[in-house]
Amino acid sequence: MTLDDLTRTSGEWLRGTGPESDIVMCSRIRLARNLADFPFTNRASRNEKAGIESQVRSAVDAAGVEAAYFDVNAMSDLDRQFLVERQIISRELAAGEGPRGVAVTPKENISIMVNEEDHLRIQYMLSGFRLPEVWDEINALDDQLEDDIAFAYSSSLGYLTACPTNVGTGIRVGVMLHLPGLVANKQIDKVFRALQKINLAVRGLYGEGSQAFGDFYQISNQQTLGKSEEEIIKILTDVVPQVLQYERSARQELVTGRRQHLHDQVSRAYGVLKTAQTISSEETMLLLSSVRMGVNLGLIDDLSIATVNELFIQTQPAFLQKLRGSELDSDQRNVARASLLRSRLANGRAVEDE
Amino acid sequence: MICQKCQNEAVVHLTELVDGRRRERHLCVDCAREAGLTLPDAPPDLGLDAVLQGLIQKNVGELVGELAESRCPDCRLRYMDFRTGGRLGCPHDYRVFREGLLPMLQRFHGATRHVGKQARLRPGASLRLRLRSQLRQAVAREDYEEAARLRDQLRLKDQHA
């Protein structure tokens, strides 16, 4: 598998299947792990980073994970950005220095970042709301990697991480939610404040400090010490359904109270995406979000959620440039984006209101 | 601009308030020194790290003051570096800086003890970390004989790991 192969496929987590997938784009768990016999990445020499990288790579091979390894240190900035857009690597890994990389499986469920803030950042993603399943998978993978790696661990503090905010379980349990209803009725801040009170973090699609885009938000735990992995997962599996319920009633309110207005908004969004000759990334996200809600509410019936989900990623700057095989400036990207949208949405039409 | 005292290029430009009146002075390096002004040799360091550390010290109090200069023997990180940079340097730091870290963990996580998945015991790993840090220090002081000895020792341990 090469980077170019990735432009022809899309991650399983975009498929729009699994429980609650009208709102829950994907469930994701990541584990922070470090090798016990090396300094943390920020303190490791080039040689040590290379040593860490080769140990992790051989552990991944030995675990029988069918994964391609991408050398992030050697790749172009465009390729790095491409992997960030696909949620395969973090912006921090992209911007890092020295030997570092990522192992990715063909369906992009698993990504193992090497020499990010911690030596290993193991990530597992599945579409829909299925955290217990994701935990079973990543727990087994973690065990397999441990066959070949001595993890930094203390019996009192658990897995030792470069930042004390991750120490203990080293786990971040998150769900990515599409919340256009709560954005429309302006209740979203209220929901977030409530989540923050119980120590859950809310972030945009691209993690820490990134702005919410396309009305996508990630909710995840912050505390990693003093609670077991299962307890942390249970907090999320208890709380997220309440958020889903708020979102559903917000959508219902829009449908019953302002159906014509909503239908108009969705149809216009769809129309613009299908016909525009040049379109910015921001406008695309905004309109795709409307269309995604429209599909889920039955206002558009000839478009799959998977296609809409994919378009959120495929209309990003680096993807467009990879697809064209050349660097494009902002104006050229807007033209390429519009052309991609027209061809992907060519046969769609909005539902006639009875 | 020319120095007000000689014909050299002026590099020091000073605006003073004397008895409520502005006074401008433009001097070359030598005349400035003669006038008793201290000049930085290197480009001025803004000293942000020192400012930050000062602030943290002031606000976190005595305990940090004592801890601040303590240093991990393996990765050489000072506790103060951690407080400014936010990242620890190696797994041993959790033991070395325990006193400072525990209250921080309590504040952030509401706990100071791990519950949950347990890693397998690997007694040799911590020793290898120590050997590796000794190796790095030997290379740094160009003691290649010692470095070679440590490298062999590590190689042996890695095989048994």
Interchain contact A155–B (C-beta under 8 A)? yes
Give the model's confidence band at B46: pLDDT under 50 very low, under 70 low, under 90 confident, else very high: low
Closest C-alpha among B135, B83, B61 to residue A38 = B135
Q: Element (H or E) spanning B90, and its range?
A: none
User: Do A167 and B104 count as a contact with CB atoms less than 8 A apart?
Assistant: no
Tell me the per-residue pLDDT of A286-296, one tens digit each, with 9 for 90 and over.
999 999 999 99
Evaluated on CA atoms A55, A58, A62, A63, the torsion sign reads: positive
The contact set of B with A (CB < 8 A) is 74-75, 77, 85-91, 94-95, 101, 104-105, 108-120, 122, 124-126, 128-129, 132-133, 136, 161
Residue A167: list chain B partners with CB under 8 A.
94, 105, 109, 114
User: Do B111 and A223 count as a contact with CB atoms less than 8 A apart?
Assistant: yes
User: Reduced to 3 states, what is the DSSP secondary structure of residue B106?
Assistant: helix
| Domains, chain A | 4-252 (3.30.590.10), 258-345 (no CATH)
User: Do B87 and A163 count as a contact with CB atoms less than 8 A apart?
Assistant: yes
User: Do A36 and B125 count as a contact with CB atoms less than 8 A apart?
Assistant: yes
Q: Of A208-222, A258-272, B140-154, which gets the smallest average pLDDT?
A: A208-222
What CA–CA distance (Å, rounded) separates A135 from A132? 5
Residues 276-335 of A with CB under 8 A from B: none
Give the model's confidence band at B159: pLDDT under 50 very low, under 70 low, under 90 confident, else very high: low
Q: Give the side-chain half-sphere CA count within 13 A for A104.
A: 22
Give B89 or B125, the one with higher predicted confidence: B89
Interchain contact A42–B (C-beta under 8 A)? yes
Interchain contact A198–B (C-beta under 8 A)? no
Is 50 exceeded by the pLDDT of residue A354? no
Tell me the per-residue pLDDT of B92-137, one tens digit each, with 9 for 90 and over.
999 999 999 999 999 999 999 999 999 988 878 878 888 888 888 8
User: Do B109 and A38 count as a contact with CB atoms less than 8 A apart?
Assistant: no
Give the model's confidence band at A206: pLDDT under 50 very low, under 70 low, under 90 confident, else very high: low
Tell the residue number behind the tokens 């769609």, with chain if given. A348
What CA–CA distance (Å, rounded) separates A305 from A194? 29
Q: Mutate which of A33, A35, A41, A43 to test chain B, going by most B C-beta atoms within 10 A?
A: A43
User: Do A39 and B129 count as a contact with CB atoms less than 8 A apart?
Assistant: yes
Average pLDDT for A70-77: 96
Query: A53 near A345, Cβ under 8 Å?
Result: no
DSSP designation for A258:
S
Strand intervals (E) in chain A: 24-33, 68-71, 101-104, 110-114, 120-127, 153-154, 158-159, 171-178, 200-203, 216-221
> What pLDDT is recorded for position A207?
56
> What pLDDT is recorded for position B130?
84
Query: A36 near A152, Cβ under 8 Å?
Result: yes
What CA–CA distance (Å, rounded) separates B16 from A305? 69
> What pLDDT is recorded for position B124?
80
Interchain contact A62–B (C-beta under 8 A)? no
Average pLDDT for A30-40: 96
> What pLDDT is recorded for position A213?
79
User: Do B90 and A43 count as a contact with CB atoms less than 8 A apart?
Assistant: yes
Is 60 exceeded by the pLDDT of residue A348? no
Q: CA-based angle A253:A256:A261, to the nearest 5?
A: 95
Is 60 exceeded by the pLDDT of residue B43? no
Tell me the per-residue pLDDT of A113-170, one tens digit each, with 9 for 90 and over.
999 999 999 999 999 999 999 999 999 999 999 998 999 999 999 999 999 999 999 9
Strand intervals (E) in B19-135: 21-27
Tell me the pTM.
0.83
What CA–CA distance (Å, rounded) separates A224 from B105? 10
Mean model confidence pLDDT for chain B: 82
Q: Element (H or E) spanning A313, and its range?
A: helix A305-314
Give the model's confidence band at B25: pLDDT under 50 very low, under 70 low, under 90 confident, else very high: confident
Partner residues linked to A33 by β-bridges: A120
Interchain contact A144–B (C-beta under 8 A)? no
Query: A83 near A95, Cβ under 8 Å?
Result: no
Tell me the per-residue pLDDT of A231-282, one tens digit each, with 9 for 90 and over.
999 999 999 999 999 999 999 999 998 888 999 999 999 999 999 999 999 8
Give B111 or B140, the one with higher predicted confidence: B111
Size of chain A in residues: 354
Please give, rounded to a whole number of angstroms, the shortest distance from the CA of B58 to a CA of chain A. 22
Please state the domain extents for chain B. Answer: 1-40, 125-160
Residue B151: list chain A partners with CB under 8 A.
none
User: Do B128 and A37 count as a contact with CB atoms less than 8 A apart?
Assistant: yes
What CA–CA distance (Å, rounded) separates A187 from A249? 11
**Which tokens belong to A276?**
């525009």
Mean model confidence pLDDT for chain A: 92
